[in-house]
Structure 1
Amino acid sequence: MYCTKKVTEDLYWVGASDRRLALFENMYPIPRGVSYNSYVLLDEKTVLLDTVDRSVSGQFLENLEHVLAGRSLDYLIVNHMEPDHCALIADIVLRYPEVKIVGNTKTFGMIRQFFDLNVDSRAVMIKEGDTLITGKHTLFFAMIPMVHWPEAMVTYDAYDKVLFSADAFGTFGALNGNIFADEVDFENQWLEDARRYLTNIVGKYGAQVQAALKKALTLDIQMLCPLHGPVWRENLGWFIDKYQKWSTYTPEDHNVLVLYGSIYGNTENAAAVLAGKLADAGEKNIAMYDVSVTDPSYLLSEAFRCDRIIFACPTYNGGIFPKMETLLHELKAHNFQNRKVAVFDNGTWAATAGKQIREMLSQMKNMEIMEPCLSVKSALKADQLEEMDKIVEFMVR
């Protein structure tokens, strides 16, 4: 049975959600599932904007058939060629053999790579600023390369002032009947997934996201239709401001984040003592995570959110505890920057992790790193509490 939603007078949501998928891109845990959004514009010409992942193909094709109600499909606009949005291009061509495919040069190069499909005869090649008139609707196209693939683009409907934003403004999480952000408690139930989605998938490309935002902000946008997550028709400025912060590596909250690794519990104990001291100094909403049991995607997202970070780490085989090292590599790979950080390490015979962590942090931009590093020998002792107080002073000043 079809499951569609009316977005505007002429626009319909024909996507679907997957609540069974455990890992997005086979990497990021998605306990709340994910939606794959696709949209149909009914005008003098009919337009499908992107397809979906093959896992939800049955629902999507039924939705599309219902909305078209016997009409042919004139255009398929491909804003993004990642397989969770383009998997059914060949299926659409088989079902609607007269369809024209709209994309840019890089789009069609990727179509030829993914599919054994003679796309040239049906290709509508567009470039920055080109338009497509479908009747009363005029669609404009803008390129947003590396947000987060090189062929990515957005489509703007000047009639309804709708921006089809590809992966920009998306979020993890399945849609539960309500497809609009104003129908859900987005700030409390969706914001964490939106932040984790953006920072992990596009965090490396902050400059490119900024370039895309500058293009978008020149338009009169009344609605955002992303390829994942809820549609935005109210309070767009609030969500756009989040993207401004995340893409400029600007802390979202004035909070301390404590990230620790611990083998037998001694480093964890020292981190807990430090967190208690921070609380005594007036810090509220301290965030604290064991890097061994928390997926790096959550830790990266929290690092983007908080303005101050403490890394507590045991030495392991003469190096950084592997779970912490993985996180540090993730931070560097995502172009992380602009934070105040402190480090303390632990070692029974060679406490060297702290120095190595500080060396990795120093390779990131604009990081204020506390010196020297507190070094615990096996277990925290009372005579080291004064050194710990210096970390607190550095963090709260």
Structure 2
Amino acid sequence: MQGTRKVTDDIVWVGCNDRRLALFENLFPIPRGVSYNSYLIMDEKVTLMDTVDESATSQFMENLEYVLDGRTIDYLVVQHMEPDHCANIEELMKRYPDMQVVANTKTVQMIHQFFDVASDGRVVLVKEGDTLSTGTHTLRFIMAPMVHWPEVMVSYDEKDKILFSADAFGTFGALDGNIFNDEIDFERDWLADARRYYSNIVGKYGAQVQNLLKKAAELDVKMICPLHGPVWRSNIEFFVEKYDKWSKYEPEENSVVIIYGSIYGHTEAAVNSLACRMADAGIKGIKIYDASAVHVSELISEMFRSSHIVLACATYNGGIYPPIENLLSDMKALSVQKRTVALMDNGTWAPAAGRMIAKKLEELKDITVLEQLSIKSVLKEDRADELEAFAQKIVEDVLP
């Protein structure tokens, strides 16, 4: 049984959902699943925009056959070669022997790396600014290298003013029939997953995203059709503004995320006391996370949201408590930058984590270490004034 929806009169969403997959890229938890979006343009020449993951091939082929209703596919536009979007290229080339693959040079190279297919006479090579007429629609191709693979391109439909945006403007989460942003409460139900998707998958490539945003700003975009998550047909500027902030590494909120590594609960207790003092002083949106219990992708996402970060860490075997050490590696790999960090460390005989964390933070761009508070075993009442001063220093920096 097919599951499709019309995007416009002659463009149909033929994508699929995967609610069984536990880890996206075998790395990121996706408790709400993920969608693989694909779009069929039913013009004089039938054009398919990307395919789906191998796990959804059966449903995908049913969707295609239902919408095609006996027609063939003339063009397959391949915007991105990650297997969750390209898995069905070989199968489609076999099913539709006259189908042409529309791709750039890097994409064709990757097609041959993934599949044993003969591409002679089957490929329409395109480059920046090239167009393809499908009848009433004209697709203009825009190269978007490293958003987030080197071969990525996006496509602009000049007729309906749609940007087929590849992995840009994507989000985790399966689509529950409501595929459009104005059919859901995006800010309430989807924004956190969109931020986590961006910060962990695309976040390293802020400069490249900025290049794409500048190209897109020259277009009259009325709709955005990404490869994951909702289709945007209203209030597009809301999501574009988020991408602009994230790719400039500007925080969404003046707030604090506190991430701690605590062995027996004493560091956690100090963090709770700190949070209460900051809340009393008027800071809103404070979030506290246990680095041992929360997936690192959530922690990175919260760092993209917040202007200030508190890292509270026990000393472990003379070094940094491993979950916090792993977090620091991810912060570097994903280019967390332009943030202010306050440090708490704890140790019974040799508190050293704070000094070591500060040293690692020097490897990141535009990170300001605001203050450091060291604890020996337990933060006792006789050090309440020190905790108050530590909290006040953060408050004065967060609140305008």
TM-score between both structures, scaled by the size of structure 2: 0.98
Provide the rounded CA distance (Å) in 2 between the counterparts of 1:336 and 1:161. 34
Provide the rounded CA distance (Å) in 1 between the counterparts of 2:165 and 2:333. 25
Secondary structure of 1:90 counterpart: helix
User: 1:31 corresponds to which letter in structure 2?
Assistant: P
Query: Where does residue 395 of structure 1 map in the other structure?
Result: 394
Provide the rounded CA distance (Å) in 2 between the counterparts of 1:49 and 1:167. 13
Query: Where does residue 250 of structure 2 map in the other structure?
Result: 250
Query: Where does residue 126 of structure 1 map in the other structure?
Result: 126
Shift of 1:8: 0.5
Structure 2 residues without counterparts, runs of 5 or longer: none
- Measured against aligned partners, the alpha-carbon deviations of 1:9-29 in whole angstroms (never above 9, x if no partner) come to 110000110000000000000
Query: Where does residue 181 of structure 2 map in the other structure?
Result: 181
Shift of 1:138: 0.7
Shift of 1:386: 2.0
Shift of 1:285: 2.3
Provide the rounded CA distance (Å) in 1 between the counterparts of 2:171 and 2:281. 36
Identity of aligned residues (%): 60
- Measured against aligned partners, the alpha-carbon deviations of 1:319-370 in whole angstroms (never above 9, x if no partner) come to 1100011111111111111111100100011100000111111221222212
User: 2:381 corresponds to which letter in structure 1?
Assistant: A
Q: Which moved more, 1:282-291 or 1:158-167?
A: 282-291
Query: Where does residue 59 of structure 2 map in the other structure?
Result: 59
Whether the 8 Å contact between 2:180 and 2:232 is mirrored in structure 1 is: yes
Provide the rounded CA distance (Å) in 2 between the counterparts of 1:120 and 1:287. 55
The within-5 A match list for 1:328-343 is 328-343=328-343
Query: Where does residue 381 of structure 1 map in the other structure?
Result: 380
Q: CA RMSD in A?
A: 0.8
Provide the rounded CA distance (Å) in 2 between the counterparts of 1:390 and 1:212. 44
Query: Where does residue 363 of structure 1 map in the other structure?
Result: 363
The within-5 A match list for 1:1-397 is 1-371=1-371, 373-397=372-396
Provide the rounded CA distance (Å) in 1 between the counterparts of 2:78 and 2:88. 11
User: 2:304 corresponds to which letter in structure 1?
Assistant: F
Whether the 8 Å contact between 1:351 and 1:375 is mirrored in structure 2 is: yes
Shift of 1:387: 2.0
Secondary structure of 1:224 counterpart: strand
Provide the rounded CA distance (Å) in 2 between the counterparts of 1:61 and 1:253. 43
Structure 1 residues without counterparts, runs of 5 or longer: none
* Runs of 4+ residues deviating >6 angstroms: none
Shift of 1:121: 2.1
Shift of 1:128: 0.2
Provide the rounded CA distance (Å) in 1 between the counterparts of 2:273 and 2:113. 55
User: 1:390 corresponds to which letter in structure 2?
Assistant: A
Provide the rounded CA distance (Å) in 2 between the counterparts of 1:146 and 1:4. 30
Whether the 8 Å contact between 1:337 and 1:365 is mirrored in structure 2 is: yes
Shift of 1:124: 0.5
Provide the rounded CA distance (Å) in 2 between the counterparts of 1:304 and 1:379. 31
Shift of 1:382: 2.1
Whether the 8 Å contact between 1:156 and 1:164 is mirrored in structure 2 is: yes
Secondary structure of 2:121 counterpart: helix
Provide the rounded CA distance (Å) in 2 between the counterparts of 1:315 and 1:78. 49
Provide the rounded CA distance (Å) in 2 between the counterparts of 1:152 and 1:327. 28
Whether the 8 Å contact between 2:370 and 2:394 is mirrored in structure 1 is: no
Q: Which moved more, 1:375-384 or 1:139-148?
A: 375-384
Provide the rounded CA distance (Å) in 1 between the counterparts of 2:49 and 2:117. 19
Provide the rounded CA distance (Å) in 1 between the counterparts of 2:280 and 2:164. 48
Secondary structure of 1:335 counterpart: coil
- Measured against aligned partners, the alpha-carbon deviations of 1:14-68 in whole angstroms (never above 9, x if no partner) come to 0110000000000000000000000000111000000000111111001011111
Whether the 8 Å contact between 1:340 and 1:395 is mirrored in structure 2 is: no
Shift of 1:384: 2.2
Secondary structure of 1:273 counterpart: helix
Shift of 1:85: 0.1
User: 2:146 corresponds to which letter in structure 1?
Assistant: M
Whether the 8 Å contact between 1:309 and 1:339 is mirrored in structure 2 is: yes
